Structure 1
Amino acid sequence: MSEASTSRSWDGFLLAARIFWKKQLGRFKMRRRDSRQAIHAFEYRVFSQHREDGIIDYLLDLVGVKNATFVEFGFWADECNCLNLVLNRNFSGLFMDGSAENCNRAKDAYAWLGKSSVSVVNSFLTAENINLLITANGISGEIDVLSVDVDGNDYWLWSAIDVVNPRIVVVEYNATFGPEKSITVPYDPGFVRYDKHPSGFYHGASLMALTRLGSQKGYSLVGCDYTGVNAFFVRKDLLTPNLDVLTVAQAYMENRGRVKYKGISTTDQFKAVEDQSFVEIQ
């Protein structure tokens, strides 16, 4: 075995060990709670960046699991929205990301964990290749969770996907664009967030734009995480009396990282990028 492959395998083992211990934490946190509470009451973090793990777990309890399958793109090997499902609900599925290094680390770690039912694909995702990449990895039809987080063409990728029919969709929205604007960045297959604008505020789509897209595709908005990063949609035929459908005004949360920790108001964030190009979504 070469020195490079030995190093990579050892790194994968260490990453797998960290993931394994987080898995145990996830088992502790996955418990039933009063389903009448606001969605934020169900947040917790095992592998997700912004406590999405708890919300996804809660929504799956309400709508049920069909075939324990997911597709997630824009992920880190040990920080993503569906790894908790893989390890604590025995899901199979597909992770995709544009970073070869990240994907190699994930493949190595997941192999150590014995998760052969999980595919990891390195590709820069576009509206033109997204469906082919999904079906090429043996996934089509109804899946339980679709998670979209690419810091750029999020709206356009979700719009393009037609080979799977997710029960739950988690998609990053750009809170900088506010609750009232229905806009997205124009489609650019080579979109790189910080190349477009140094602030990092110019990417993705507003919550209103994504909610309108979701409605067209048969989904209802049921909430956003407390940190103001991800929106959660449930397919309309799966809605239950215990799950409130929210308006954008009810669900919208400011991006706490930008407002609280960077000290930049949502208004000032948008002022920094208002001269950029946008597409209005009707």
Structure 2
Amino acid sequence: MLKTIAKIYKQLPIVRELREIRDSRLRSEALLAAGQVIRLLDFELRDHPRYGDPQRLLCYHAQACSQNSEDGIIHEIFRRIGTSTRVFAEVGVGSGSENNTAFLLSQGWTGFWIDGCSDYLQALKGRPDLGDGCLRHRTAHVTAENIASLFEQLGVPPEFDLLSLDIDQNTHRVWQALTDFRPRVAVIEYNAAIPPDVEWEAIYDRQRAWDGSQNYGASLKTLERIGRGLGYSLVGCDITGVNAFFVREELTAGQFAEPFTAENHYEPVRYAMIHRRGHRAAILDRQAPG
């Protein structure tokens, strides 16, 4: 009897409305708290001797379409070293409207997207400005064994400006497999749960998917080593401890904070700061290539 009464009670319109109001308030409070943290951090970064160093990249963080303010850092890197082809390749593009290259696409760049899920196609629907060959894409499960072939099939050139890799479990091994491709800048996801002086990487299995735990990818120190072997220097990380930024060694002289080590550039886990600031994410209108 009591269960029946409780069921009827929960179905009353006023109860549903009160529950919706409560849930909306909780979401708003969470976003407000996150926003306050961001504003406080912005204020402190300006005056902190480490983050205020103009050769470091963190003070240039800005979020247009990226999840962790990578847009501003990527823009600053290319302001320093210049662009060549204005071509990108991103593996792990998520929804399509929130990733590391959607903003570049709106700035007239051309490029390539690969993801294991086709959700990103929704972001491209009804967007004639994104046609005419400015973006080629493929839905595929990416492994160290097939990444080079996928790039070749899509027509990714050997030399291009930006590579972004974020496939959670096997990101580091996929990067190692791209020896025939030489982007000028690489944005690579790292596991910030591992201290910066520790080499560690998850055991590779091409069928293995991320299980939501901290047992994934590779430490920043391991990525530093992998990058050095491929001819890249570690020049910074984003503030949330998600992505590391690498630049070809011949382009770094006098441009970035040395030494180019994990100990110098590591940022710890700050996942609580990850949120969309402002309006719903969307790919911005594409500008004429300049």
- Which of the five TM-score ranges fits, normalised by the shorter chain? 0.7 to 0.9
Distance 1:46 1:115 in 2: 24
Distance 2:55 2:168 in 1: 30
Distance 1:141 1:220 in 2: 19
Q: Shift of residue 109 of structure 1?
A: 5.2
Unaligned regions of 5+ residues in structure 2, if any? 1-51, 275-290
Q: Shift of residue 35 of structure 1?
A: 8.7
Residue among 85, 100, 115 paired with 1:97: 115
Matched residue, 2:253: 240
Matched residue, 2:217: 204
Given the superposition, is the C-alpha separation of residues 155 and 87 from structure 1 closer, same or farther in structure 2, using an over 3 Å criterion?
A: same
For the residue of structure 1 that corresponds to 2:125, the secondary structure is helix
Distance 2:232 2:145 in 1: 23
Q: Shift of residue 106 of structure 1?
A: 3.7
Matched residue, 1:152: 169
Matched residue, 1:221: 234
Are positions 1:161 and 2:175 aligned together?
no
Residue among 87, 93, 106 paired with 2:106: 87
Distance 2:53 2:134 in 1: 31
CA contact (8 A) 2:55 2:256 kept: no
Distance 1:177 1:207 in 2: 8
Distance 2:159 2:231 in 1: 13
Residue among 188, 193, 198 paired with 2:210: 193
| CA deviations over 1:200-237 (Å, ceiling 9, x no partner) | 21111000000000000000010111111110000001
- Residue 169 of structure 2 aligns with an amino acid whose one-letter code is G
Higher RCO (Cα < 8 Å, 6 or more apart): 2
Matched residue, 1:231: 244
Matched residue, 2:143: 126
- Residue 143 of structure 2 aligns with an amino acid whose one-letter code is T
Given the superposition, is the C-alpha separation of residues 145 and 109 from structure 1 closer, same or farther in structure 2, using an over 3 Å criterion?
A: farther
CA contact (8 A) 2:221 2:261 kept: no
CA contact (8 A) 1:147 1:170 kept: yes
Are positions 1:68 and 2:86 aligned together?
yes
Distance 1:152 1:110 in 2: 32
| CA deviations over 1:131-157 (Å, ceiling 9, x no partner) | 111111111211100001000101100
Which has the higher mean CA deviation after the structures are superposed, 49-58 or 232-241? 232-241
Distance 2:145 2:222 in 1: 21
CA contact (8 A) 1:151 1:193 kept: yes
Distance 1:161 1:212 in 2: 15
Which has the higher mean CA deviation after the structures are superposed, 234-243 or 107-116? 107-116
Distance 1:104 1:226 in 2: 29
For the residue of structure 2 that corresponds to 1:222, the secondary structure is strand
What is the TM-score of this pair, normalised by structure 2?
0.72
| CA deviations over 1:180-219 (Å, ceiling 9, x no partner) | 221111111112111xxxx521111000000000000000
Q: Shift of residue 115 of structure 1?
A: 5.9
Q: Shift of residue 164 of structure 1?
A: 1.6
Are positions 1:257 and 2:288 aligned together?
no
Unaligned regions of 5+ residues in structure 1, if any? 1-33, 262-282
Q: Shift of residue 37 of structure 1?
A: 4.7
Distance 2:86 2:190 in 1: 25
Query: Percent identity of the aligned residues?
Result: 34
Are positions 1:53 and 2:71 aligned together?
yes
Q: Shift of residue 110 of structure 1?
A: 4.7
Alignment root-mean-square deviation, CA: 1.9
Which has the higher mean CA deviation after the structures are superposed, 63-72 or 37-46? 37-46
Are positions 1:170 and 2:184 aligned together?
no
Which one has a bigger Cα radius of gyration? 2
- Residue 271 of structure 2 aligns with an amino acid whose one-letter code is G
For the residue of structure 1 that corresponds to 2:204, the secondary structure is coil
What is the TM-score of this pair, normalised by structure 1?
0.74
